[in-house]
């Protein structure tokens, strides 16, 4: 029969062995969990920003500012952006959200300032603006409408006062000012009425005072005042000016 001391030594050995086994298991499980956490995290990163054998972007793409701050994230299919792309400021606020139309490469976009206020919304064809864009002020009030054709200004550009009254309208054709140009005061009265041809002021032009009466009237040629210009005060003709290619040649006082 073993002695009391031997039994105590055996019991102590079993306790130590049990503790060592527990520590081993705990350490093993920690390493196991750590390994798979790192493995799957690495795998997830490895699955981002993928290019296939044909050099086409596929799947999830993310780009970063310095210090690993997310710049944008989105999905590609055969090098074409699809679904939703989200762009961020460096402070983490959303800069823009582009929702792509299938695999067309065309997107509906909403753009925000760093206080998350809507600044603009419209359509992209590829990476350029197209169709009608709506522009907002720092209170998210609609203040302008811009027309594009595949990146070029094309159609009416209209700005508005905060109450919706037109402040200015000018038309573009393939990026060049063309046609009627109108400016208005806040009460809706005319401020300027003129015409553009090939990007330059051309033909009859009238500037109005705050009461809607003519203040100056004449003609432009190739963007320069040309011929006789009449100057008014409170609707009364005061001065006649004569220009040649933008240079004032003669001024006649008609007040007398």
- pLDDT tens digits, residue range 71-86? 999 999 999 999 999 9
Distance CA 204, CA 195 (A): 7
Buried b (16+ CB within 10 A) or exposed e, 24-51: eeeeeeeeeeeeeeeeeeeeeeeeeeee
What confidence score (pLDDT) does residue 220 get?
98
Name the phi and psi angles at 56, rounded to 5.
Answer: -95, 140
Buried b (16+ CB within 10 A) or exposed e, 114-125: eeeebbbbbbbb
pTM here is 0.77
Task: List, in sequence order, every residue forming a beta bridge with 129; answer none if it has no partner.
Answer: 124
**Tokens representing 93?**
């606020």
What confidence score (pLDDT) does residue 170 get?
98
Which three-class secondary structure state does DSSP give residue 1?
coil
Q: Write out the DSSP string of 11-24.
A: HHHHHHHHHHHHHH
**Tokens representing 78?**
């055969």
What confidence score (pLDDT) does residue 20 get?
54
The per-residue pLDDT for range 47-60, each reduced to its tens digit, is 899 999 999 999 99
Q: Could you state, in order of their start, the residue ranges of all structural domains in the chain?
A: 1-46, 202-256
Residues 6+ apart with CB under 8 A from 232: 209, 213, 214, 215, 216, 217, 238
Distance CA 21, CA 130 (A): 69
Name the phi and psi angles at 22, rounded to 5.
Answer: -60, -45
The per-residue pLDDT for range 105-150, each reduced to its tens digit, is 999 999 999 999 999 999 999 999 999 999 999 999 999 999 999 9
Name the phi and psi angles at 46, rounded to 5.
Answer: -65, -25
Label residue 27 by pLDDT band (50, 70, 90).
low
**Tokens representing 200?**
């330059």
Q: Smallest Cα–Cα separation from 241: which of 256, 221, 223, 226?
A: 226
Q: Is the dihedral of CA 210, 215, 217, 220 positive or negative?
A: negative
């Amino acid at each position: 029969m073993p002695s009391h001391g031997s039994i105590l030594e055996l019991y102590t050995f079993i306790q130590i062995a049990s503790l060592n086994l527990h520590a081993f298991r705990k350490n093993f499980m920690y390493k196991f969990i750590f390994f798979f956490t790192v493995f799957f995290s690495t795998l997830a990163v490895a699955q981002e920003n993928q290019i296939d054998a044909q050099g086409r972007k596929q799947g999830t793409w993310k780009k970063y500012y310095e210090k690993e701050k997310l710049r944008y994230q989105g999905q590609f299919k055969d090098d074409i952006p699809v679904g939703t792309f989200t762009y961020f400021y460096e402070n983490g606020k959303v800069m823009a959200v582009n929702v792509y139309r299938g695999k067309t490469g065309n997107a509906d976009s909403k753009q925000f300032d760093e206080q998350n206020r809507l600044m603009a919304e419209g359509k992209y064809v590829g990476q350029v603006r197209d169709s009608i864009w709506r522009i907002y002020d720092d209170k998210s009030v609609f203040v302008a409408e811009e027309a594009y054709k595949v990146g070029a200004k094309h159609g009416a550009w209209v700005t508005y006062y905060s109450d919706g009254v037109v402040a200015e309208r000018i038309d573009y054709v393939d990026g060049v000012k063309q046609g009627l140009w109108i400016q208005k005061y806040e009460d809706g009265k005319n401020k300027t009425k003129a015409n553009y041809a090939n990007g330059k002021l051309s033909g009859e032009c009238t500037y109005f005072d705050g009461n809607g009466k003519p203040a100056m009237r004449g003609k432009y040629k190739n963007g320069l005042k040309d011929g006789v210009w009449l100057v008014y005060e409170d609707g009364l003709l005061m001065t006649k000016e004569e220009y040649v290619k933008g240079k004032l040649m003669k001024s006649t006082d008609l007040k007398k």
